Each structure stands twice: as C-alpha cells, then as structure tokens.
Amino acid sequence: MTKTMTDARLIALIEAWGADVKAFPEAERDAAAALLAEAPQRFATHLTAAREMDALLCTVPESLPSAALTAALIDSAPRPRPQRRNWFAAIPRWPAAGALASLAIGLAIGLGTAQPVADDAPEDAVDTLVYAALGFDTLTYTQEAAQ
C-alpha cells in the first residue's frame, strides 16, 4: 500500500488508468487524489492527454468474439494431466488389519495355553552342562572332577 505518492507514480497511474481517479487502484486512490488536489497545474498536460484518450476509447464500438473463436480458444487450452494413482493407496486397509488382529489373537492364545516344563526334563541337564562350561556353577565342576 502506497502511503506517499510521487509525481512519477501519479503520471504512471494517469497513463495507465486514465484521467478518472476512481479508476486507479484502490490502495493508491486517496494519495493520488490528494496530490492532484495539491498541485493540479503540475499534471494538467497529462490529464488532458488522458481525457482525450478516454474520449477516443469511448467511441470504439464494443465487439464480442465469435462463437467459433471462443470454442477454438477453449479447445486449445491446456488440459490437466491425469492424476497418477499410488498403487499403495489402492490396496484396501482391511486385509492388513485382519492379519494384524489374527496375529495378536494367535499370540494371546499361544501364550495363554503354554504347558509348564517338568522339573526333570532333559533340558535341565543340558543347561547345567552349559552353565558349568561357562563357569557359572562351581558345584558342577566338583562333580566332574569326581567322575
């Protein structure tokens, strides 16, 4: 938004928009009107030329384009590119949710129905041997030395 109006800017507005201040851009109307009221003689030649151009433009008859030209312009307009579909977005979500739910239910049932291990299982002998080999159980060393 222009707060101060320069002479060059006002002349550019007159040349672009004509002599009527109401035709100027809204943000610059008040500043332009104030500068014109302050020194009207400074811009008299530019205003006269703009009024003559406005009068000349008012004499030109209004013409509308033909229907053929309108159709040709619309047909030559660029078309939007077809949207590329993401293959991942096309996959329905419910199979993944069903697979996850069945996995969770299977784990819950499997852990809930696990059989306790008996105390005299053969795994205990293997565990004892491994612990002894790693040096965690001194009692095993004494048993091996006795054998």
Q: What is the pLDDT of residues 68-81, one digit of tens each?
A: 999 999 999 998 88
Copy the structure tokens of residue 112: 């809930």
Domain span at 37: 7-59
CB atoms within 10 A of CB 28: 19
Tell me how far apart the alpha carbons of residues 19 and 29 are, in angstroms, rounded to a whole number.
12
Burial 30-57 (b: 16+ CB within 10 A, else e): ebbeebbeeeeeebeebbeebeeeeeee
6-64 tens-digit pLDDT: 999 999 999 999 999 999 999 999 999 999 999 889 999 999 999 999 999 889 888 88
Residue 147 in any domain: the answer is no
How far is residue 74's CA from residue 86's CA, in Å, rounded to a whole number?
Answer: 31
Element housing 75 (H / E): helix 67-76
In-domain check, residue 137: no
29 lies in some domain: yes
Considering the domain boundaries, does residue 31 fall inside one? yes
Total-model pTM: 0.44
**How many domains in the chain?**
1
pLDDT band at 127 (very low <50, low <70, confident <90, very high): confident
Residue 20 lies in a domain: yes
Choose between 137 and 12: higher pLDDT: 12
Please say whether the beta carbons of 4 and 29 come within 8 A. no
> Looking up tokens 């565990």, which residue turns up?
127
Quick check: 21 and 34 in contact, CB under 8 A?
no
Tell which wins on pLDDT, 128 or 51. 51
- Domain assignment present for residue 48? The answer is yes
Q: What average pLDDT does range 76-95 have in this prediction?
A: 76
Residue 44 in domain:
yes
What pLDDT is attached to residue 143?
63
64 half-sphere exposure, CB direction, 13 A CA radius: 3
Whether 55 is covered by a domain: the verdict is: yes
